């Protein structure tokens, strides 16, 4: 999947774009609006970016995990190499310590990430601060022409670039989840 970013200062226009994209087969889960005016975005019935995803919690937590896994392996390997696992306590305290260290590293990474903007949105931070809204759409290669057709009818949208999108399986799972919630 590819992510396309567009900048607009008009939420009415973005609402029209979202409705047209949905009418042409692009699901709601593929369309998001990033804005500092969350209440206005919700009032226009646009699919906004949740507050957790505006921060870099997930990415920083992953970095914490990358640091934590070798530390946990070092604890388990060191305990084995030093023969500490041969004691009456065995492996349990070292496995527990390794899990605690891994969890702490992930938590610390997420804690750092909650203090900084999401890495995917950093380049657009200034436009959002200036009151503009960022529309981003995750599309499959076969949906690129649909997106281009809809966007060309909205000259007020400014192209802001492309980037990596959410994996297809996440978008598909979210789509099924929202359908399930609607049927209940």
Tens digits of per-residue pLDDT, 53-83? Answer: 788 888 899 999 999 999 999 999 999 999 9
Please tell me the predicted confidence (pLDDT) of residue 76.
Answer: 96
Residue 117 CB partners (closer than 8 Å, separation 6+): 54, 55, 56, 125
Q: Same domain, yes or no, for 45 and 127?
A: yes
Total domains present in the chain: 2
Where among 99, 114, 129 does a domain terminate? 114
Residues spanned by the domain of 8 = 2-53+118-183
Residue 17: CB atoms within 10 Å: 25
> What's the confidence (pLDDT) of residue 127?
78
Q: Are residues 127 and 44 in the same domain?
A: yes
Q: Which of 114, 135, 153 is the last residue in one of the domains?
A: 114
Same domain assignment for residues 106 and 20: no
pLDDT at 134: 85
**Same-domain check for residues 166 and 83:** no
* 47 and 67 inside one domain: no
Q: Assess whether 36 and 88 both reside in one domain.
A: no
Distances (CA, A) of 167 to 71, 122, 138, 149: 29, 20, 9, 24
- Exposed e or buried b per residue across 20-46, where buried means at least 16 C-beta atoms within 10 angstroms of its C-beta: bbeeeebbebbbbbbbebbeebeebeb
Q: Average pLDDT over the chain, rounded to whole?
A: 86
Which tens digits make up the pLDDT trace of 132-175? 888 888 888 888 888 888 888 888 888 888 877 777 777 788 88
Tens digit of each residue's pLDDT (9 = 90 or more) over 111-127: 999 888 887 777 777 77
pLDDT for 64? 96
Q: Are residues 124 and 177 in the same domain?
A: yes
Cα–Cα dist 121/144, whole Å: 21
Phi-psi region of 83 (alpha: psi -120 to 50; beta: other; left: phi over 0): left
Structure confidence at residue 168 (pLDDT): 77
Do 97 and 72 lie in one domain? The reply is yes
- Answer yes or no: do 84 and 126 share one domain: no
Whether 81 and 170 map to the same domain: the answer is no
Q: End of a domain among 114, 142, 162?
A: 114
Q: What is the reported pTM?
A: 0.72
Q: Are residues 61 and 84 in the same domain?
A: yes
Same domain, 102 and 134: no
């Amino acid at each position: 999947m590819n992510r396309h970013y567009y900048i607009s200062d008009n939420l009415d226009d973005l609402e029209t774009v979202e409705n047209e994209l949905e009418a042409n087969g692009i699901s709601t889960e593929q369309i998001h609006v990033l804005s500092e005016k969350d209440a206005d975005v919700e009032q226009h019935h646009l699919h906004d970016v949740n507050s957790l995803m505006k921060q870099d919690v997930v990415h920083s937590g992953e970095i914490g995990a990358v640091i934590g896994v070798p530390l946990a392996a070092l604890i388990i390997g060191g305990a084995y190499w030093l023969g500490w696992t041969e004691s009456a306590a065995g492996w349990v305290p070292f496995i527990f310590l390794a899990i605690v260290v891994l969890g702490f590293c992930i938590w610390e990474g997420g804690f750092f990430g909650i203090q900084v903007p999401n890495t995917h949105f950093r380049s657009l931070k200034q436009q959002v601060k200036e009151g503009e809204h960022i529309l981003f759409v995750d599309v499959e290669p076969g949906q690129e022409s649909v997106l281009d057709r809809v966007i060309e009818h909205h000259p007020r949208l400014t192209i802001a670039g492309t980037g990596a999108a959410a994996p297809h399986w996440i978008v598909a799972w979210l789509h099924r989840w929202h359908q399930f919630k609607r049927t209940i």
